[in-house]
Structure 1
Amino acid sequence: MLRQKDFTIILIRLLLGYIFLSAGLCKLTHGHFGQIIGPPLLEDTLAKYGLGLFARIVAITQVVCGTLLLSQRFSTIGAVMLLPMNLSILAVTISMHWVGTPYVNGFFIVLNIALLLYDWHKLKVLINPVLSAEARPTALDAYNQNVFNIAGTTFAVAALVASRFSVAFTNVFAIAAFAAMGYSVIQVKAITKMQALVVALVILNMIIITLASLLGTIAQKLVLFNTLLIFALFAASFIKLPKRKILPVAQ
């Protein structure tokens, strides 16, 4: 059975991975890809000041970081890459006096740090090479080596390439990436049925938001309902029911 701590890390990777992958694709498609954070027209805005290439690199980096986190397999690299980006975004939002945004990004940084702390036994060798003998994989590393997260990563790269010429293909490849990466978690034997359902609902939300422009107002209702259900199921997974005592049968 997958420990609750390990499952929570999976959900954090999925959340941050989707947020930044979708934000990057939205920027690269000039606002035509479904996402939940902005600004979607960053490249168009900065191009006025000769910084269009910079904005594009930011967007591509967001896609790369998000893809690595979503894959689970390469999530440690993604978490390391994402921290300086998150800190830079926080500095920009504070400098621009954006109301509320610094708190949201601060929350993302807390989640980012949680991922790095989880992988500390793999990362500490970067700080002190003497500790290389103590470096060891995490509990999740045993479940992350499968063909589905490789397929999901490949689809995400295809979505990145397609973002320069076709929104439709970007959506198709991105949805394929979400499905493959979600299934890479669901198919793990150690995961419980409730945990698998939570992951499936998370992936469903990603797909709904991606197709929000086609689904219309019903998309918001579906995402809200699924999100409430995810929180309820996640909270319920912490509750351990007492084991029933088997009473001896009277002779």
Structure 2
Amino acid sequence: METLETWQAWKRRVLPALAVVYTRYLLGGAFVFASIIKLKGHRFTRLSGAAEPIHSAWHFFETLYKSGLYWQFLGAAQCLAGFLLLTQRFATLGALLFLPIIANVFVITLSYEFGGTPVITGLMLLANALLLAWDWPTLRGLVGRPALPLVPGPQARLWEAVGWALFAFTAGYRYYTDAYNFLLWAGVCTAVGALGLLAAWYLRRRAAAGAPAGGR
């Protein structure tokens, strides 16, 4: 019981909870952004990598693209993992699905010449591991230990709504345009996330103002 109460208290702390929420947004949004082009059956870029050396990264991606169904399957898996993370409600399942995908991507970036990309994919893998650690009391049932019930974080419905808005914009934007503007996408997502944070602050102040005198 003490362990459960400690976990519940930790999950309701504002700063750690916000860090988890926005980490889910960041990872989930990145995967949805990268997945739609695959679902559409298009390359990452307009240039073919068929003429590149066979051991190069661009030739590797050209081979994946030419596989057709497998390329779209990769996109579907990425999109599903990203969507689940963005919803917040199903983020634990999303983090589980995200793990083998990002681990595979990380190893690929280590296996080919990608410049500094392994740093980015490595940080994404680390961030996903931290999300799983956050949900470990729930996940430990997978290893035969009693699982603790999932406790919704503060203002859970607000963060779910923000996640749906981010998914709708990202998926819609990438579906309707191939020649995307990354800064535009990132700017709109940042604005949506900032509006969510502002709404959370307002609701928190409103709740505090309505609390009984001397209450916390």
1:80–1:116 Cα contact (<8 Å) kept: yes
Q: CA deviation at 1:184?
A: 6.2
Change (3 A) 1:157 1:41: farther
Which residue in 1 is equivalent to 2:95?
79
Tell me which of 40, 43, 46 is aligned to 2:64. Answer: 46
Task: Give me the identity figure in percent.
Answer: 25
Change (3 A) 1:7 1:157: closer
Q: CA deviation at 1:159?
A: 3.9
Map of 1:73-222 to 2, 5 A cutoff? Answer: 73-128=89-144, 130-132=145-147, 135-138=148-151, 140=153, 143-145=155-157, 148=161, 152=165, 155=168, 159=172, 163=175, 166-167=176-177, 182=193, 187-188=199-200, 189-190=203-204
Q: CA deviation at 1:46?
A: 2.5
Distance of 2:166 and 2:29 partners within structure 1: 13
TM-score, normalised on structure 1? 0.54
- Please say if 1:56 is aligned against 2:72: yes
2:82–2:94 Cα contact (<8 Å) kept: yes
Q: CA deviation at 1:55?
A: 1.2
Post-superposition CA distance 1:14-58 (Å, at most 9, x none): 11111111011233453689xxxxx9998765244xx22111111
Change (3 A) 1:185 1:3: same
Change (3 A) 1:31 1:144: farther
Q: CA deviation at 1:12?
A: 0.8
- Structure with the bigger RCO (C-alpha within 8 Å, sep 6+) is 2
TM-score, normalised on structure 2? 0.62
Map of 1:26-45 to 2, 5 A cutoff? Answer: 26-29=37-40, 30=42, 45=63
> Where in structure 1 are there 5+ consecutive unaligned residues?
34-38, 193-251
Distance of 1:150 and 1:103 partners within structure 2: 26
- Please say if 1:25 is aligned against 2:41: no
2:83–2:167 Cα contact (<8 Å) kept: no
1:27–1:40 Cα contact (<8 Å) kept: no
2:43–2:65 Cα contact (<8 Å) kept: no
Change (3 A) 1:69 1:154: closer
One-letter amino acid matched to 2:87? S
CA RMSD of aligned residues (A): 4.0
> Where in structure 2 are there 5+ consecutive unaligned residues?
1-11, 46-56, 207-216
Which SS does the other structure have where 1:131 is aligned?
coil
Q: CA deviation at 1:139?
A: 5.3
Change (3 A) 1:98 1:44: closer
Which deviates more from structure 2 when the two are superposed, residues 23-32 or residues 86-95?
23-32
